A and B are shown apart, each in its own frame.
Chain A
């Protein structure tokens, strides 16, 4: 068991996502920044979809009760293992009673803690990803426990990774969305020439953008939406759906973020700059 001494701001368990229930209105969920999370699973020789801990902004303090191997990645946060600083994308051996403690957030927004074999929280509809109320918990609370398998010996093929870092990237590569053709020249001009900033309203469901563009009067029937779908409200507000985003919507879908762009955006927080680039 992993004992949660302090839970942090918003810590959840996420895996490769809940597939197969979009037609029943169930979002995919899963790693917000799959780019980082999957790399950690590779370093630990886990299935790339194995469950990891997703740590948002202010991280937890955790005590390990069994031996294992861990690896951290994603946002750059100062983290200590028994008071010694540790690095992202490097495999560490964990002994019984070791304490992992998250400190100050430096760059990015979400850090991932992967453990050898993946976290073993309950699988619900084929996934361990937390999505309340489909799963009993929305996020980690103090003094709870999270199950993992013990591992006494593991010889990583690569013990440290020089990651092609993208935390400082702010350009989101996008494809045309289904309603792209409805955009006026003026809307197009603002979408692709402006720099935007993340508004206060941003979470695992959606990121809202601070600056508005010209609105519209398009009335469309409700239709499917995906993580990375960029919607435009009639008043001109831009909303980018993320992993816990609703599976259908009635706003025009202007753009669709690439997988990499979703990971880049997942590391942004209030006030950070982004721009769109059509591919």
Chain B
């Protein structure tokens, strides 16, 4: 496997940043997952270190004590060369329901006009693509999803809303995603997902990890209401399949 030139830099005394070339690329993300899998299984004590992958970077955080940067940099370079020796962690494709009714998709008519697609073509396009989770941040459980086709690219709204409803599914330039909680936001809202992307009551509060895949499927309002209740009482069964990079 061809390896990338990495840039390893200090990020304060408690963190170190490892950077791949500045591009959004599946192959780079695959390499990051491979490397972090190796770090987690063979190199770092996982309950002391936090490993935060996003797009073309991994940030390693150690809160308890200052990092010996030079020593760790050298070791990371060596570990990177060895990282193919373990199997990368299992990745998943999550199929998530979205109700595109105007009640939830408050911008769907405007988006359809601007993109010159009918609403049904827009839904068809949004649900036929498999998106990649390039990062999780901004809010707990907020996924940065890449892989939006150019036909769906639309700039974010000129004036952000103060309150975007929990579960809202948005489009903004090359990204799509779900607001995991009510929040201010500037994305164009085209639907709502009844499944909570973040639940602090679960030991694993967010089922998705960076490197996973997400695909949406359209549901009627009645099905939405049912899934919403199932989600609240904790019996909604997630549609999950293994995904091999």
Q: Which residues of A contact B (CB under 8 A)?
A: 17, 19-28, 124-125, 133-135, 175-178, 220-224, 226, 228-229, 246-249, 253, 256-259
Contact = CB atoms under 8 A, between A and B. Distances in A.
A175 B144 CA distance: 29
B132 to A, nearest CB: 13
Contacts of B37: none
Nearest to B52: A224
Nearest to B209: A23
Nearest 10 Cβ contacts at the A-B interface:
A248-B137, A256-B12, A224-B59, A221-B55, A24-B206, A224-B52, A22-B50, A223-B57, A25-B137, A25-B140
B50 to A, nearest CB: 5
B147 to A, nearest CB: 15
Interface of A is mostly: loop
B198 A226 contact: no
A144 B38 CA distance: 48
Contact of B135 (A19, A125, A175, A222): A222
A175 B136 contact: no
B137 A246 contact: yes
Nearest to B183: A133
A115 B142 CA distance: 36
Interface of B is mostly: loop
B13 interface: yes
B205 interface: yes
B200 interface: yes
**Interface range on chain B: under 10, 10 to 19, 20 to 34, or 35 or more?**
35 or more
A19 B142 contact: no
A75 to B, nearest CB: 25
B50 A19 contact: yes
Interface of B: 9-15, 17, 19, 22, 24, 47, 50-57, 59, 61, 63, 134-142, 144, 180-182, 198, 200, 205-206, 209-210
A248 B54 contact: yes
Contacts of A229: 12
Nearest to B48: A19
Contact of B15 (A226, A248, A257, A258): A226
B208 to A, nearest CB: 8
Contacts of A19: 50, 63
Nearest to A177: B11
B22 A220 contact: yes
Given A177-B11, A248-B135, 19 more contacts: A22-B50, A23-B136, A24-B141, A25-B141, A25-B180, A28-B63, A124-B200, A125-B200, A134-B200, A221-B24, A222-B135, A222-B137, A223-B55, A224-B59, A229-B12, A246-B139, A256-B13, A256-B15, A257-B12
21 contacts: A22-B61, A24-B205, A24-B206, A25-B140, A25-B142, A25-B206, A26-B140, A28-B63, A220-B22, A221-B22, A222-B55, A222-B134, A223-B19, A223-B55, A226-B15, A246-B137, A246-B139, A248-B138, A249-B137, A257-B12, A259-B14
